[in-house]
Amino acid sequence: MIQNIFLFKGNLENKFQDLKDLNIYCYPDDIINSNEKILVNKIIKEYNQGESNNSQNSNHIIISKPVAQFIKNLNMYTACINNIIIIGLIFDEEDNPYDYKETFEELMYEFINIETDYSFDDEIEVDNLLISMFIDIRRFGDEVIEKSPEIENFYQKDSFYKIFLFGLDEVGKSSLVRRLKTGRYAENYFSPTKKFNIEYIQEKEKLFSVWDMPGQKVFRSKWLKGIQDSNIIIFMMDLANQRRFDESKKEFWNVINHPELKEIPLLIIGNKIDLFNYSKENDGEQLNTLKSEISNNFSFDKIRNREWVFLFTSVKTNFNIDNVLSTITHLLS
């Protein structure tokens, strides 16, 4: 788990040559300061050797490759920005900093927004940056790297399952997870998911970890990083948004054809049925017609070598939500 985060800010002209001009910020503990010349020198040595032919274009952020270093019992991971800033993470001794590589790089780009030309001039800005990054990295570690203790028992009992939940943006994935976990629903409760949203849901003697994927296009290439060891796949679509059926179908088949998901049971959810005009009196018949239209659209008849079930739901009105968990349980048995 991450213990501390620090930031060195050097002088533009001489980079990190003169430690007098170096500002050092730490959060939450002041474990590094400019009196520790040897330590500080060792940390920045990596970056002063690097090629300095990167043009100093203030609108451009250049993040040099993060490096893992072990100095004075400090297990750290540092990266240099535009040759004048070094940001470092300090982990517990037994941690592997490379587990955090992707998140670390992503966060740096996210926080240091290129448009606003992040200057690091304001101390409060820097403090805020460090605190936000610290919290995000710790949260990532808790969710992705470390198993929470409550889960250990389930591992032993062999009743712990991973659910991979994907689909286009705004189909209602995060809303479904919240509904299943808390029974609650609220309109526009979530902003679009940006990282894997991992929630644990207990159903009788089983514990499910639901990996709710971010659906926006920019994040879809990351889906494949979340699929390993999945026991069930859930694909969700927005029934009312037929203009996006082609896009949705394409993403569905991209994932389903992935070799790692071979033979894994599949639940397909057509959500937002509340927005669909069907009369309550003969909804059974109308739903059947709708279901075959959708099956044709998405070519579900081509699904091979796996068990699969299609369900209509409305996360909003709670329609069929009880059946989601029971269908998952059925598919696992």
Ligand X SMILES: Nc1nc2c(ncn2[C@@H]2O[C@H](COP(=O)(O)OP(=O)(O)OP(=O)(O)O)[C@@H](O)[C@H]2O)c(=O)[nH]1
Interface residues with Mg ion (CB under 5 A)? 173-174, 193
DSSP string for 207-270: EEEEEE---SGGGGGGGGGG-TT-SEEEEEEETT-GGGHHHHHHHHHHHHT-GGGTT--EEEEE
**Where does residue 318 fall: left (phi above 0), alpha (psi -120 to 50 degrees), or beta otherwise?**
left
Show the binding pattern over residues 129-168: x = contacts ligand X (CB under 6 A), - = does not. Answer: ----------------------------------------
Nearer to ligand X, 141 or 214 (CB): 214
CB atoms inside a 10 Å sphere around CB 174:
23
CB atoms inside a 10 Å sphere around CB 60:
11
In the complex, residue closest to ligand X by CB: 215
* Tokens read off for 65: 């490759």
Question: Which partner from the list Mg ion, ligand X, none does 270 bind, CB cut-off 5 to 8 Å by kind?
Answer: none
| 94 touches 131 (CB < 8 A) | no
Pick the binder of ligand X from 71, 275, 282, 289 (CB under 6 A).
275
- Contact set for ligand X, span 211-240 (CB under 6 A): 214-216
* Tokens read off for 248: 């949705």
Nearer to Mg ion, 6 or 223 (CB): 223
Binding flag, residue 170, ligand X (CB under 6 A) = yes
Question: Which partner from the list ligand X, Mg ion, none does 315 bind, CB cut-off 5 to 8 Å by kind?
Answer: ligand X
Q: Which residue has the tokens 């400019």?
A: 34
Nearer to ligand X, 95 or 212 (CB): 212
Q: 61-72 burial, b if ≥16 CB within 10 A, otherwise e?
A: bebbebebeeee
SS3 94: coil
Pick the binder of ligand X from 51, 94, 115, 187 (CB under 6 A).
187
Applying CB under 6 A, which part among 114-122, 153-161, 224-232, 312-320 lies near ligand X?
312-320
Pick the binder of ligand X from 171, 233, 255, 328 (CB under 6 A).
171
- Contact set for ligand X, span 13-32 (CB under 6 A): none
Residues that bind ligand X (CB under 6 A): 169-175, 187-188, 190, 192-193, 214-216, 271-272, 274-275, 314-316
